[in-house]
Structure 1
Amino acid sequence: MNTGMVKKILFFLFFSLVAFSQTKVGGKVYDEFGDPVAFANVLFKNSKTGVITDENGSFYFEADEEYSAIVVSFVGFQTQEVPLKKGLNANLKIILKEGTELKEVIVYTGKTSKKNNPAIDILRKIWARKRKNGLYMFDQYKYDKYEKVEFDMNTIDSAFMNSKVFKGMEFIFDNIDTSRITGKTYLPIFINESASEVYGDNVLNKKKEILKGNRNSGFGNGDGVNTFIKDLYADYDIYKNYLKFFDKSFISPLSRTGIDVYNYVLSDSTFIDDKWCYNIVYYPRRKGELTFKGDFWVNDTTWAIKKINLEASKSANINWVKEIYIEQEFDVLNDSVFLLKRDYMMSDFSLTKKEESKGVYGKRTTIVKNHEFNKPKDEKFYREEVNFYDNEVFNQTDDFWVENRFEKLNENEAGIYKMLDTLQTVPKFKKIYNLASILGSGYIQFGNLDFGPIFSTFGYNDVEGQRIRVGGRTYFGPNDRWRIQGYTAYGLRDNQFKYGIIGKWMVNTKNRLILSLGNRRDVEQIGVSLTTSNDVLGRSFASSALFASGVNNQLTSINLTTLGAEIEPLKNLIFQTNFSYRTLKSASSEFSLDYYTDLTQSEIKSEVKQSEINLVAEYTPKRKTVGYGVDRLEVDNNYARLFLSYSNGLKGVMSSDFNYQKLQFYYRQPVLIGGFGRLFTTFETGKIFGEVPLGLMGVIPGNQSWFVIENTYNLLDYYDFVADEYASLHFEHHFNGRLFSRIPGLRKLNLREIVGVKGVIGHVSDENRMLNASNLNYVAPENLYWEYYAGVGNIFKVLRIDFAWRGNYLDMPNARKFGVKASFGFYF
């Protein structure tokens, strides 16, 4: 017998042994016409263990006990009892017949009634008490928390196990298991455990979590991966109207707006932990919306939730996630207080939503114990640490985990640590892991040096022609206190080398005091952002684009040197100061930065030499970052940002040419608007006091690329407008498919709607106009330039197309009145 056949036999033998240790059942429910029956009740006979079918009529559930039959029911149909064999009962096909008698109380066929519905009467009582249950009833609280996060490859079959990819790594399949939610086989590949103490003060509206231990499966050092995971599985409160998952707002079944999107049915009542509870089943009224199906048990006196489960609709407009399943259980502290004791969430990440498609489960289990109440802490206690990193937290002993693990790892979970330690000694696995790391980070690692980013290797502009770039950085780990990073580039048309290099050193880790020094000599497009930056390695997208519309020859040669320092005294509040010296001159014979040096306009200078000191304050509340070193990665951009900058030009210092003062303010605010998506508002304003030439002037950012670029104007070319004082306001709203989901022909495409409007007003002083000797006439948007656009996103899950219209200044030379822009990205 060959080894492949042996593996198959062992696999099915193992699967069968697991299956016969409990009762597992799955299948589909149909009506007599062959159509699936969505949201039918399926229960083990003489039990309260069961599920409701999804919108495709499918179901799966299991129990540790043995049951001989299931009972399938739906209002308007005859209840059917289906016998079961021992162990696994898969792919059942159950056909329900229409009922012969419909009693008056049966009003829940299809869309349930909002009137005379006892389930909705109970729901209103839940709304009235939702702020009077749980932790909200105490001024202060404290509890211990254990959290386990796991990732598993799912839909494991013999063909998958015998794939050549796993040759030499077959031992990993010793940890295969079966999901109690979906019935699919899965292989655990990552596990992270954390233990912490949580403190809260409802009077001060403050909360703090102190991490006591964190343990990874072997990938990373417990901070980067864990931070990313915690963003995916953010905390949520089922009593709130909207629950945020994967940057989407799902409507809670306990929401005050729930009766408009859910059907509710009072299904059962019984004692749970000596408390009389009602069972309410709920399911969506429409397909395509961000809703759930499931049921919950609610106490009849406190109207607090005792148990609840939520399963996201398979037709919900969310990418790369096939399923979301949530369970929560609440503990009874006394007659009036119910506290969350266990929270379980599972997501099935997959390229498609087809039932047979393979994917990855992401699971999080949170268990809380040992509550204490009304023990106040000083307000200083709740101040968030700026950059706290305790190496001991990530190196706790096995004894610590035995004491602080509130839920014992099963045999397969416990084997993950050993399996992954072994995997990292397999050369083939190292190659696969390194390739994934390169694609994820953009860097190729050689010892303690990273080369990249590889995605910036090639570029193009009208001055340099084809541009080749090679870069690298030092890298000992994500928590490096110092880093040197640089690049060199060469233009095949101008035959010139360019370079940039910067070094950073974190002097004080507690408040993130960082010193930096850098120099860059390169070609760039000035004026692609209203809010300017002295980032040495920053490079304009406009001067390195592969795809651009119109002429792109208005480029500037820049030699920039900066010496800077920054500090973060409070979490997400950063102060910066730097001294910079730059020289600017045109990089093209077809473009000029010339300016007059005297009032008679008899002398012209082509090069700007400028020394400047810059002070910056930046506040980014609720920003999440990865790492504790000199460089951190942002987890996402869904946070507010306030940026205030003051710059002072120092004439005469190192032959500097101009005295001036510049003030700039930037404010960006994303706002979730319930079930109607997310609104992004961006406001920028600035003013230059003093006389400056074109090279130092404010330029309204145009967009000559074929792509959507944030905070630029779609229908403006570079240097269409300049200003020494300006105000800009952008609104962009993402409906996330809310409108298209109501249109039958578009519903299945899961398209998403975007609308936006942008406007800018500005002025140029007479003194700065008199200074101008370039071949560019100053035009300021004194009459408020504006444009608007509408877009369709999620085309093939990765493509967005915007259609933009110009609102005014239609008579400008070569004015673009209409344009189409695109962008690519992977979004949930």
Structure 2
Amino acid sequence: MNYKPLINIIFLLITIVVFSQSKVKGIVVDIDGNPLPFASVIFKNTTEGTVSDENGSFYLSSPKTHTELQASYVGFDKVILRIEKQNQYFKFVLKESADQLQTVTIVTGRVPKKGNPAIALLEKVWAREKSNGLRMFPNYQYEKYEKIQFDLNNIDSSFTEQKIFKGMEFVFKQIDTSRVSGKNFLPVYINESVYNVYGKNEGNKEFVRQDLVANKNSGIGAGEGVTTYIKDLYVDYDIYDDYIRLFGKSFTSPVGKAGVNTYNYVLADSATISGKWCYNIIYYPIRKNELTFKGDMWIADTVFAVKDISMQVSKSANLNWIKEVYLERDYKVENDSVILPEKDYMMADFSLRKKKSSMGVFGKRTTYFDSYSFNNPKKESFYKEKSDVFADSIYNAGDSYWKTHRIERLDKNEQGIYSMLDTLKTVPKFKRIYNLGVILATGYVEFPNFDYGPVFSTFDYNDVEGVRIRVGGRTYFGVNDMWRLQGYTAYGFKDQRVKYGVFYKYMFDKQKRLIFGIGRRDDVEQTGAGLTTSNDVLGRSFATSGLFSSGASNLLTDVKLTNVFFSAEPVDNINFEINFAQRSLKSASPAFNLSYVDEFGNIQNETQQTELGFAIKYTPGRKIFGNGVERKNVNDNFPVFYLSYANGFGALFNSDFDYQKLQMYYKQPFYIGSIGRTTTTIEVGKTFGEASLALLNIVPGNQSFFNIQNTFGLLNYYEFVTDTYASLHLEHNFNGRILGKIPFLRKLNLREVVGVKGAYGTITQANIDRNIPAFQSLPFLNLDAKTIAPSQVYYEYNAGIDNILKVFRLDFYWRGSYLDHPNANKFGIKGSFGFTF
């Protein structure tokens, strides 16, 4: 019997199974051995490719089987090599093309704009960007599948063989290799979602509704531990915009018009892709240390739209804690006039160090778009309705559902991830490692259905309480919790008092987000550290801490507050709230008093006040993670409009004052292209009627060593007291635009910040007379100018350096007016710590 055909068939089957994917790496050089940066490397006859880095090196992977690899470079002949095995190393040696010698020097330096065929092609893309894709259809509908995954990367034997992992060896059987970087990785978190998306284009208006149909989640930290990091992967972007916002930074888009002054573009190739003739453009940044990408794109002929594009953040970009960011967009061409999104992929390599061999975490988001429909028109009211994201069917979809609705099949390692992660969560040693990371990231210690913390508030000190110890926690069942109970208790060893705060809220209507809340607080607080009134029962200003104070921390107030509220969000990002508050306020220290003169001429040391308020908060463009009673913001580039009205009842519940208070708060961040980000904050308000000092509007000072948001860095507490005020804060962060151009500072990734703050305010004579006892006790108040005079404005300005050692910011402040106030601070230095990208 001839067994040879059978053996050949078996060998073929084994080959198909083992090599059902292609992984290659290598380098591209010229005949003299000089590396060729930004060379195009693709699997032949596909758009699956990459661009070599600054050293000519590349890595490329595909889930499909390919047999040939092609390298090309403008001014050089193409070279095609055969793929013989997995992880094969290639050395492409390219020879100069005799008929293109004129262009050899162009691609390695700055490419001129005039006569550049790549830019001429992009101009056609810009002319068509508003007339292709989903914008062309009055109505559309499609299905979206989204997978988010976190993986430990750079796993090697020195890591897996450590004693700490004894008993967890089964985990490392799930190690795989990244198709982007070639690094091995271990999955630790996975989340899958299916959505039905509906859209309507009507003139310049666009209505979009996204219904969550199914969700599956597993891994470490299904709660706060991972959601803290996951939010940056949810930010959407448009490649046709001039700038793509990632991790709070504006990266110049290679497809937007602003890219002409930022990138070199080279027309590298052309080919038939999926039956459509396409042009390949390679792009790379002109300058270093800017927020840019490198990569390539394929432009479909006739449609003149991007067919596929890959974008890799430049290694010299001013980013913290991230070694690599890779974006990929694929579109499918329906016909000569329609091109639709098909796939979106994003990968970020988070790491404490940018060293190539250092361990880190991959954060990956993969999105597929399918089942397009354009003949199902719906009324405008349909898009304003909200789907029920709490339905049990969403979170209980079985394996059969996922097999039919998973547009991208899970690979071998992903198929085993759910069982592996469920097992991993039961290993005590791993739970201890994970819990430590959660504490550092969120400040809370996780227990089943309960979080203890914030742990960083456990110990504190000020001149009134002395050493202060605090314990507290909150219920936590998940991001879709319908209710939450939070509380704390604290004790001061100097005043020998027990303080506490407790707060409960419940959402009894999921669609309109009708929420009821009630709370009580009995504590000491540094009032006068914020203009816009807050009835947050659990709030305690950073200014209250004496550990970080540049002066005495004895101007504290004893606050007893009861708060009841109802809030609703009938329309996304428009929140309405009715608030009932009853408070008792008096000085917590003999260093000053909050006394006032009542209508009978008697001095009263304590203010009793009952207040009913109404507020509207509008946050257009805000994106949210979670659907429970508490949610997290995904983005931070949205404006905030806040308007509140409060009525103080002078005869209700022994209330002391009858007044009306109107306040408005507006904050808007502006991204000014590659120049950086400006943040503008405006606050205005007026108290109609008479009130004690504890109820008036105090321009917020800052006597700490650190920056506190929306305060004035050189003002002392209670230095300016008003009943009518307006304040403006302007701050601009250049994100290293200036310092990044200085050679010996470039590698430090410093970021320059400038700002100016101003306040105007007045106070009526009636309120001055009411509060003479309190004014006389304030150490910094000038009785001859009890508030900012109507003809003048208090202002200060600052300049600072951010991102020092990636975590510290240092600001220098100068006072511009009211230099004659008692103990006026004319100059100051303040710092702040923070983990930002």
Superposed pair shares fold, TM > 0.5: yes
Contact kept in structure 2, 1:386 and 1:571, CA below 8 Å: no
Note the 1:274-313 alignment, pairs <5 A.
274-313=275-314
Matches within 5 A, 1:571-720: 571-598=572-599, 603-720=602-719
- Residues 514, 565 of structure 1: 8 Å contact kept: yes
Aligned residue in 2 for 1:261: 262
Aligned counterpart, 2:116: 117
Q: Residue deviations 1:364-419, cap 9 Å, x none?
A: 22221221115321111111539742221111111111121112111111110111
1:780 equivalent to 2:787? Answer yes
Matched, 1:819 2:828: yes
Alignment partners' CA distance in 1, 2:291 and 2:550? 39
Matched, 1:540 2:541: yes
Shift of 1:745: 2.6
Aligned-partner residue type, residue 706 of structure 1:
F
The one-letter code sitting in structure 1 at the alignment partner of 2:101 is: K
Give the counterpart letter for 2:473 in structure 1: G
Which residue matches 1:805?
A: 814
Rounded Cα–Cα distance in structure 2 between residues aligned with 1:577 and 1:101 = 76
Change (3 A) 1:70 1:628: closer
In the superposition, relative to structure 1, how do residues 620 and 70 fare at CA in structure 2: closer, same or farther (>3 Å)?
A: closer
For 1:445 and 1:185, the matched residues in 2 are separated by 30
The aligned residue for residue 241 of structure 2 is 240
Structure-2 change in CA distance of 1:86 and 1:268 (3 Å): same
Partner of 2:439: 438
Match of 1:759 in 2: 758
User: Which residue of the partner structure matches residue 39 of structure 1?
Assistant: 38
User: What is the CA distance between 1:657 and its match in structure 2?
Assistant: 1.5
Name the CA shift for 1:18/1:112 in 2 (closer, same or farther; >3 Å).
farther
Name 2:3's counterpart in structure 1. Answer: none
Aligned pair count?
A: 809
Farther-moved stretch of structure 1 (458-467 vs 441-450):
441-450
Q: Which moved more, 1:722-731 or 1:480-489?
A: 480-489
- Name 1:727's counterpart in structure 2: 726
CA change 1:174–1:595 in 2 (3 A) is same
Q: Tell me how far apart the structure 2 counterparts of residues 675 and 647 of structure 1 sit (CA, whole Å).
A: 42
Separation (CA, whole Å) in 2 of partners of 1:317 and 1:720: 40
Contact 2:462/2:544, CA 8 A, preserved across alignment: yes
Q: Structure 1 446/620 Cα, relative in aligned 2: closer, same or farther at 3 Å?
A: same
Distance 1:135 1:504, change over 3 A: closer
Q: Mark the CA change 1:123 to 1:623 in structure 2 (over 3 Å): closer, same or farther.
A: closer
Letter in 1 for 2:114: K
Aligned partner of residue 662 in structure 1, secondary structure: strand
For residues 243-271 of structure 1, give each alpha carbon's deviation from its aligned partner in whole angstroms, at most 9, with x where no partner exists. 12222221111111211111111111122
Please name the residue that 1:792 is paired with: 801
Task: Give the secondary-structure state (helix, strand or coil) at the position aligned to 1:435.
Answer: helix
TM-score by length of 1: 0.91
**C-alpha separation between the residues in 1 aligned to 2:594 and 2:701?**
18
Is contact 1:785-1:807 (8 Å) kept? yes
What's the offset of the Cα at 1:128? 0.7
Q: Which amino acid is 2:143 matched to?
A: D
Cα distance between partner residues in 2 of 1:222 and 1:213: 18
Q: Which amino acid in the other structure matches residue 207 of structure 1?
A: V
Structure 1 match to 2:412: 411
Report the alpha carbon displacement of residue 207 of structure 1 after superposing the two structures with TM: 0.8
Measured in 2, the distance between the counterparts of 1:71 and 1:596 equals 86
Per the alignment, in what secondary structure is the counterpart of residue 417 of structure 1? helix
Partners of 1:695 and 1:94 in 2: CA distance: 75
Q: Deviations over 1:795-820 (max 9, x none)?
A: 11111111111111122222111211
Give the superposition deviation at 1:717: 0.8
Distance 1:560 1:148, change over 3 A: closer
In structure 2, give the amino acid aligned to 1:780. T
Aligned-partner Cα distance in 2 for 1:18–1:404: 24
In the aligned structure 1, how far is the partner of 2:747 from the partner of 2:824? Answer: 38
The separation in 1 between residues aligned to 2:128 and 2:805, in whole angstroms, is 44
SS state at 1:653 partner: coil
Residue 18 and residue 229 in structure 1: after superposition, are their counterparts in 2 closer, same or farther (change >3 A)? farther
Residues 270 and 93 from structure 1, CA distance in 2 versus in 1: closer, same or farther, beyond 3 angstroms? Answer: closer
| Distance apart, 1:566 and its partner CA | 2.2
Q: Give the Cα–Cα distance (whole angstroms) in 1 for the partners of residues 483 and 303 of structure 2.
A: 56
Give how far 1:167 is off.
1.3
> Kindly tell me: are residues 414 and 781 of structure 1, through their superposed partners in 2, closer, same or farther at Cα, counting changes over 3 Å?
same
Structure 2: state its 5+ residue gaps.
1-14
Q: Measure how far apart 1:429 and its partner are.
A: 2.2
Q: Are the counterparts in 1 of residues 191 and 218 from structure 2 also a CA contact under 8 Å?
A: yes
Residue 598 of structure 1 and its aligned partner are, at CA, apart by: 4.5
Distance 1:588 1:577 in 2: 33
Deviations 1:625-681 (A, max 9, x none): 444333334445432221111111211322222111111111111222222222211
After the TM superposition, which of the residue ranges 558-567 and 436-445 deviates more from structure 2? 436-445
Residues 106-132 of structure 1: per-residue CA shift (max 9 Å, x gap): 543411111111111111111111111
3-state DSSP of counterpart to 1:104: helix
Does the Cα contact within 8 Å between 1:68 and 1:86 map onto a contact in 2? no
Q: Measure the CA separation in 1 of the matches of 2:556 and 2:31.
A: 71
Give the Cα separation in 1 of the matches to 2:228 and 2:58: 34
SS at match of 2:653: helix
By how many angstroms is 1:135 displaced?
A: 1.0
Q: 1:384 to 1:245 in 2, by over 3 A?
A: farther
**CA 166–614 in structure 1, closer or farther in 2 if over 3 Å, else same:** same
Secondary structure at 2:416's aligned position in 1? helix
CA contact (8 A) 1:192 1:226 kept: no
1:558 & 1:290 partners in 2: Cα distance? Answer: 47
Maintained 8 Å contact 2:290/2:317:
yes
SS in 1 for 2:669: strand
- Partner residue of 1:473? 474
The answer to whether the 8 Å contact 2:528/2:717 transfers is yes
So what's the TM-score if we normalise by structure 2?
Answer: 0.90
Aligned partner of residue 202 in structure 1, secondary structure: strand
Does 1:213 pair with 2:222?
no
Show the 5 A alignment for 1:555-570.
Answer: 555-570=556-571
CA distance in 2, matches of 1:81, 1:724: 77
SS in 1 for 2:230: helix
